[in-house]
């Protein structure tokens, strides 16, 4: 009996220690940790594609009312594909998911953040390679099943200087040929849809395809598989390579081809 009792005490102590160790992440919520906002602001300075309508905000009211209280309200307009935004798959694939149809399951998931900033800084026309992903996997293990795959080029630091960020600050059709910024190579896009299971792809440049793309093949490959894209994402350099969870919530435009995106990441607390 003494043996059992002594054992019980040790067991109880061990149990108490372990329970207190594992209580922390469950209490008070599963969301303890750090949140990072990965979103640029929408303003007249927000960077838009040279041919796209830019963001505009007009004042409806701003000041004291007759009733004696302050009131402000604004109208706004925009194209769907400027600033931090989502490309819905229907942007480049007939019959694919439109903005309001993209399920939360494709918008919330484990982040895999690949740092391609060195190559992107050396070459404005850099296209991310299969080797960039394989190299990440060598260091961090296989891409999480259902990953939200994010490429950090470092170009977010150039925002909102359009010339520095995407190669030109000119507007109109003639400016499109002057776009120079990194994106995913079509070979990588094909590899991802065939060899990996990803929820979504994001990056901190204006387009999944690099600036000099003429056929937008990366968009077409990913869209055909109903994989949404997150473009002009901010602050990716603040995320760890693994362990963060992305929550990317687009404005719910019915039948849209994309739309403004508020994208955040949750980094769990250190254990």
- The residue from 1, 5, 19, 172 that contacts a copy of itself (CB under 8 A) is 19
Q: Which residue has the tokens 């990913």?
A: 222
Kind of pairing, strands 127-128 and 183-184? parallel
- The residue from 48, 81, 132, 232 that contacts a copy of itself (CB under 8 A) is 81
What are the CA-CA distances from residue 62 to residues 45, 68, 72, 144 (Å)? 21, 13, 4, 48
- The residue from 47, 50, 93, 226 that contacts a copy of itself (CB under 8 A) is 93
Q: Is the peptide bond before 175 cis (omega within 30 degrees of 0)?
A: no
Q: Which residue has the tokens 């039948």?
A: 255
Residues 21-50 within binding reach of a copy of itself (CB under 8 A): 21-23, 25-26, 28-31, 33, 35, 37, 39-43
Q: Does 229 bind a copy of itself (CB under 8 A)?
A: no
Q: Which residues contact 161 (CB under 8 A, 6 or more apart)?
A: 169
Interacting stretch for a copy of itself, rule CB under 8 A, among 15-23, 149-157, 184-192, 196-204? 15-23
- Cα(266)–Cα(244) distance, integer angstroms: 5
Q: Does 5 bind a copy of itself (CB under 8 A)?
A: no
Region of residue 95 (left: phi > 0; alpha: psi -120 to 50; beta: else): left
Record the tokens describing residue 32, joined without a space: 């303890």
Q: Which of 228, 256 has the CB closer to a copy of itself?
A: 256
- The residue from 216, 225, 237, 241 that contacts a copy of itself (CB under 8 A) is 216
Question: How many residues form the binding site for a copy of itself (CB under 8 A)?
Answer: 78
Q: Does 247 bind a copy of itself (CB under 8 A)?
A: yes
Instruction: Let me know: does 192 contact 225? Beta carbons within 8 Å.
Output: no
Residues 152-211 within binding reach of a copy of itself (CB under 8 A): none
Q: Which of 21, 134 has the CB closer to a copy of itself?
A: 21
CB of 131 to a copy of itself, least distance (A): 27
Q: Does 212 bind a copy of itself (CB under 8 A)?
A: no
């Amino acid at each position: 009996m003494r043996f059992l009792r002594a054992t019980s005490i040790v067991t109880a102590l061990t149990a108490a220690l372990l329970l207190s160790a594992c209580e922390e992440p469950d209490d008070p919520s599963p969301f303890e940790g750090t949140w990072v906002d990965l979103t640029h602001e929408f303003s007249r300075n927000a960077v838009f594609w040279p041919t796209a309508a830019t963001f505009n905000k007009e004042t409806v009211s701003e000041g004291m009312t007759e009733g004696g209280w302050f009131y402000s309200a604004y109208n706004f307009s925009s194209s769907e594909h400027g600033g931090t935004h989502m490309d819905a798959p229907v942007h480049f694939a007939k019959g694919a998911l439109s903005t309001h149809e993209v399920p939360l399951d494709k918008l919330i998931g484990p982040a895999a953040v690949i740092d391609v900033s060195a190559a992107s800084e050396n070459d404005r026309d850099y296209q991310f390679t299969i080797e960039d992903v394989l190299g990440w996997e060598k260091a961090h293990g296989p891409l999480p099943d259902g990953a939200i795959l994010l490429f950090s080029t470092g170009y977010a630091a150039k925002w909102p200087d359009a010339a520095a960020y995407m190669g030109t600050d000119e507007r109109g059709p003639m400016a499109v040929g002057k776009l120079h910024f990194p994106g995913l190579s079509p070979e990588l896009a094909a590899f991802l849809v065939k060899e990996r299971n990803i929820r979504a792809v994001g990056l901190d440049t204006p387009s999944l395809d690099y600036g000099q793309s003429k056929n937008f093949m990366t968009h077409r490959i990913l869209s055909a598989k109903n994989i949404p894209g997150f473009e002009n994402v901010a602050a990716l350099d603040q995320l760890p390579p693994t362990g963060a969870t992305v929550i990317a919530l687009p404005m719910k435009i019915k039948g849209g081809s994309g739309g403004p995106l508020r994208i955040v990441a949750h980094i769990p607390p250190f254990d």
